[in-house]
Amino acid sequence: MGCEVVVAGVEPERVAAVLERWEAAFSLFRAESELSRVNRSQARVVVVSELFASALRVALDAVAASGGLVDPTLGVGWGDVSLSGRLLSRPPGRLLDLNGVVKALAVDDAAGLVEDGGFVSVGGDLAVRGAVDVGLPGGGAVRVVEGGLATSGTASRGSHLIDPRTGRPSRSRWSQVTASGASCLEADVAAKAAYLLDADGPDWLDGRGMPGRFLGEDGEPVLNASWFAATAERAACT
Amino acid sequence: MSRTSRIEAAYARARGAKLALGVLTSLVFGVAFVGARSHAPGHAKHRARQLGAPSSFVRAVRRSALQAGKIAPPVQPPAVVTSTS
């Protein structure tokens, strides 16, 4: 997937095999991947594999969960993409990019192999099995007790996130948004949506009870209420 | 054979023919009806059920409520770092 993989509590080879399975199916840079074949097909309806169908279903669910902010169609609209069983229907030429959810799905898939106390991190998005201390962008750390943690933003690759509302590269006051979710996928969807929502991001996450940490251009972290409540050191009993 | 008995015989044949035609018609209708119910898409094959939301819709609504993870203050040096990739 072209990014750093860090694992604990599992043999790296087993994680590599899981990640390779997802990469082989969903890479946009491999001509023989299923995603590339689907994008090349001129048929309106194509039969896809069970893995592809399940990932697309998750991507369409992510559209709903994020209010359309996480879009699997390269920012040109998901309204006429539909899935019935393994039958995918979309206008020919409509390019799908499931990488917005595939990396997180692969992390959650690989985390199923991990023993207690271990974790899988791919490019900084991680899922844990037991408590793990994680370093945060701009300094500081947090203990992830359950679920996943993901960071979205423009810090490492510039403005690569497309805002589906405009179809253009995103503009946000945040350079990086880190969110905590019940899984890596949920954390990833939440972090992307909160990043794109700009000033409304902290409240949007709070409305869902999700902890979020926002790093502004000045490098100063802003915590939403859920993050603050979860990480504030308890006053010692006297 | 007398004229009366020939007419009665004709009536009897006509009654038999009408009966046979009626039975045949009922049989054809019955076979066509059952066949249509089990094969034609416009005919109900099962008892009608109460309308409910499609499972895909229910799933989408359920997933709209993103679930939070659980975090706490750190107690050790970080084992891994989260960042954009």
Asked if A64 has any chain B CB less than 8 Å from its own CB, the reply is yes
Which residues of A are less than 8 Å from B80 in CB distance?
Answer: 6, 8, 119, 121, 126, 132, 134-135
Buried b (16+ CB within 10 A) or exposed e, A10-32: beeeebeebbeebbebbbeeeee
Q: In this predicted structure, what is the pLDDT of residue A165?
A: 64
Per the prediction, chain A carries an average pLDDT of 86
> Which of the four pLDDT bands, split at 50, 70 and 90, describes residue A217?
confident
Q: In this predicted structure, what is the pLDDT of residue A80?
A: 78
Cβ B79 vs Cβ A133: under 8 Å: yes
Per DSSP, A198 falls in state G
| Residue A56 DSSP SS3 | helix
Interface residues on B facing A, Cβ-Cβ cutoff 8 A: 56, 59-61, 63-85
pLDDT above 70 coverage of chain A, percent: 87
Higher pLDDT, B9 or A234: B9
Q: In this predicted structure, what is the pLDDT of residue B51?
A: 65
What's the rounded Cα separation, in Å, for the pair A1 and A4? 8
Q: In this predicted structure, what is the pLDDT of residue B46?
A: 67
Cβ A90 vs Cβ A81: under 8 Å: yes
User: CB–CB of A132 and B79 under 8 A?
Assistant: yes
pTM comes to 0.73
What's the rounded Cα separation, in Å, for the pair A212 and A203? 9
- What phi, psi does A2 have (nearest 5°)? 70, 25
Q: In this predicted structure, what is the pLDDT of residue A162?
A: 65
Q: Which residue of A has its CA nearest to B82?
A: A124
Q: In this predicted structure, what is the pLDDT of residue A235?
A: 46
CA distances to A30, A106, A113, B73 from A4, rounded to whole Å, are 19, 14, 19, 25
Altogether, the residues listed in chain B come to a count of 85
> Which of the four pLDDT bands, split at 50, 70 and 90, describes residue A16?
very high
What's the rounded Cα separation, in Å, for the pair A11 and A28? 27
User: CB–CB of A64 and B63 under 8 A?
Assistant: yes
User: CB–CB of B81 and A124 under 8 A?
Assistant: yes
User: What's the average model confidence in pLDDT over A171-181?
Assistant: 90
Q: Which two tokens stand for residue A15?
A: 């994680």
User: CB–CB of A141 and B60 under 8 A?
Assistant: no
pLDDT above 80 (res A4): yes
> Which of the four pLDDT bands, split at 50, 70 and 90, describes residue B57?
low
Most confident option among A7-16, A55-64, A72-81, B36-45? A7-16
Q: Which residue of B has its CA nearest to A189?
A: B66
pLDDT above 90 coverage of chain A, percent: 50
What's the rounded Cα separation, in Å, for the pair A6 and A119? 8
ipTM higher than the 0.95 cut: no
What's the rounded Cα separation, in Å, for the pair B57 and B35? 34
Cβ B69 vs Cβ A182: under 8 Å: yes
CA nearest to A90, candidates A121, A59, A124:
A59
Which A residues, 148 through 177, put their C-beta within 8 Å of a C-beta on chain B?
Answer: 148-157, 176
Which residue in A103, A150, A211 is closest to B68 by CB distance? Answer: A211
What's the rounded Cα separation, in Å, for the pair A65 and A200? 16
Q: In this predicted structure, what is the pLDDT of residue B49?
A: 63
